[in-house]
A and B are shown apart, each in its own frame.
Chain A
């Protein structure tokens, strides 16, 4: 069930009303919200509810066993087993075809048969997100940062529908305390929630989808048909599209949760304002960055064992972070590119003094360049696109609406946050009736921009 869909438009107001009606009685509210979340997930594919339930029970059981043990080695082994189980599920559903086909070809080249069936496995929506959240729960219990929750609370934590399919990756220690007591019905961030939902819809439907169908999909699909000006513009357009698509989803998710009384962590903070790659990763998909930092980079040793170990750890973290996005060599390449950029930045360590605007300019363009590998449907196509960047010819796609959409997506990130804050303050003074009316009018206008084929899924749904 997509957020910008009629189905969700029917589902959410009903769930919201019942949720608040039952909120004071956790014995009723918790089963209700769990069932609602599973209905939401079942709309994508009912069979995958079993997988979600399986991951929940597995990690709940592991956390209980870890908690019972006082021996650190036993705790570590149990935790490793639980994480291995999570990664196995992720590996089978997300990477099986990718690795088995590579293996089949390698074996075929030496005239050997494949010991495994060469088949495709449907990717459960959101598996990358809920397995990471499950890992964070189990590891945090092992680290004694949190107590194990009840099975019901763990189930709600992993399946809570606003963050279920594409994050943000909410840590157990952020979410479980919010389940401990009913949400305060007298303190709900309604204006902030509705503002985020409205902004998210505009970002996703009006900007991201428009750029996708008018320039990004045509140029990245058949770069041979376009010359340098169009290819260049398509690269900027993709930078705008992926930001608006993913941050739009996150805005809606955070907004929905706020209306239900829950607070999610921030996931984006004007990422194209970054003046370095480290800065960028502190602003882009922040919940993934901190997950990779806390559960991969630091356990690998972080920056504690000298320069070369730091570089190795950065590269491993970013390559695996790239692979997390999908089973394709382009994602590995994109991860390695980011790892290399972080290593170079670390190695330079302020030895080269550049003015702020120049650091921003260089960073921004290096990030846009990196997105080519992220978006291209194969390394061959990425290479073709790069060669077309030097194929001179007349622009055909430089239209005012496309330039405007790119500008609207990127330029506000470079401005001071004050105008947005003032806008939200003004909204906060409106009555609920006016806020609801405003949201409805916005939805009417946003819906009018949707083509008959409907709203395409969020880019991060396939991750």
Chain B
């Protein structure tokens, strides 16, 4: 083993050379890395496959699934995966969601005689019938949830409402989608949130990650963004709305997606928004759809900035998807106006 420097920069390596310590070679580096990789395939191959399913379509997803499928296949056949899960599961910060979720096709249709969908009184807003609005109730607990779209809206609402003595629970689930249950199943999550927090009102802002294929009414996978996909999506949204409204006790404020900059995403957003509008129809007074498109992107034309309080203001983040602080502040004002129609605070 040579102790003479071979390279002009070898003195930099001295920082990592310990007296009397073993000198490793490049072969050792590669061997140790591949042993680590092999153990991870055996013990966590299914997680690699799951990570692939949770990735948006593209080369990255293809690459991860190219490794994930064989890794998952190996892990499924060996006991190491189960053993590793048993040893490490206690460290998981995730809540254990139970009960039926979106893994099964959702079918909510309430049918009357002859299989025709039944219209219930909840489908009518009092104002539309010329009736006086229901009396306002005090708002005690607001839940703000969704994917990354719900940030920083949730923060803005909490900053405004907390000093008034209200409880605002912020429960964002970043990177999640209603159409993909790999990261989180929103059907289960909505039930868990209601059981845990019992909110008087729920603000939902979600859909930026949607567009995954999912089982349609017949159980067959349907791809975005056909009418079949929109109906499957609307059924999931409707189930969530039904959970959040808590048999009419609570109110739901569901924000549509402002048109994103990217045209492919804009196409998905349009279908998501259409599905949300349809999903809310049975409960007009209990589930209010707050349409952000006319506010932020009139005519579904993307824009970074707009006039807010007479000032030219950037309202979108540089990704062309999310609202920035100023945009979220404007959205919060609109949400609060809507909440004030139903609640006192």
Q: Are A188 and B314 in contact, CB atoms less than 8 angstroms apart?
A: no
Task: Please give the distance in Å from B70's CB to the nearest CB on chain A.
Answer: 12
Q: Are B30 and A444 in contact, CB atoms less than 8 angstroms apart?
A: no
Q: Are A224 and B159 in contact, CB atoms less than 8 angstroms apart?
A: yes
Quick check: is B337 within 8 A (CB to CB) of the other chain? no
Q: Are B63 and A10 in contact, CB atoms less than 8 angstroms apart?
A: yes
* Alpha-carbon distance A416/B344, docked complex (angstroms): 59
* Alpha-carbon distance A35/B168, docked complex (angstroms): 49
Q: Are A259 and B33 in contact, CB atoms less than 8 angstroms apart?
A: yes
Q: Are B312 and A114 in contact, CB atoms less than 8 angstroms apart?
A: yes
Within 8 A of A (CB), among B14-52: 15-18, 21-40, 43-44, 47-48, 51-52
Question: How many residues of B are in contact with the other chain, CB < 8 A?
Answer: 81
Q: Are B26 and A432 in contact, CB atoms less than 8 angstroms apart?
A: no
Q: Are B37 and A432 in contact, CB atoms less than 8 angstroms apart?
A: no
Partner of B304, one of A23, A120, A444: A120
Quick check: is B251 within 8 A (CB to CB) of the other chain? no
Task: Please give the distance in Å from A207's CB to the nearest CB on chain B.
Answer: 13
Quick one: given A448-B91, A449-B91, are A7 and B184 in contact (CB under 8 Å)? no
* Alpha-carbon distance A429/B10, docked complex (angstroms): 21
Quick one: given A177-B8, A429-B21, are A259 and B29 in contact (CB under 8 Å)? yes
Residue of A nearest to B48 (CB): A6
Partner of B26, one of A121, A177, A261, A437: A261
Question: Of the 9-residue stretches B100-108, B118-126, B170-178, which lies at the interface with chain A?
Answer: B170-178
Within 8 A of B (CB), among A152-193: 174, 177-178, 180-181, 183-193
Cβ–Cβ < 8 Å partners of A185 in chain B: 25-27
Q: Are B317 and A177 in contact, CB atoms less than 8 angstroms apart?
A: no
Q: Are A451 and B26 in contact, CB atoms less than 8 angstroms apart?
A: no
Q: Are A439 and B25 in contact, CB atoms less than 8 angstroms apart?
A: no
Cβ–Cβ < 8 Å partners of A9 in chain B: 37, 40, 48
Q: Are A16 and B25 in contact, CB atoms less than 8 angstroms apart?
A: no
Cβ–Cβ < 8 Å partners of B313 in chain A: 101
Task: Please give the distance in Å from A144's CB to the nearest CB on chain B.
Answer: 18
Cβ–Cβ < 8 Å partners of A449 in chain B: 91-93
Q: Are B27 and A435 in contact, CB atoms less than 8 angstroms apart?
A: no
Q: Are A119 and B170 in contact, CB atoms less than 8 angstroms apart?
A: no
Q: Are B32 and A194 in contact, CB atoms less than 8 angstroms apart?
A: yes
Q: Are B305 and A432 in contact, CB atoms less than 8 angstroms apart?
A: no
Cβ–Cβ < 8 Å partners of A180 in chain B: 8
A-B contact pairs, 11 of them (CB 8 A): A9-B37, A97-B314, A186-B25, A188-B24, A218-B170, A222-B162, A437-B39, A444-B39, A447-B47, A452-B94, A452-B173
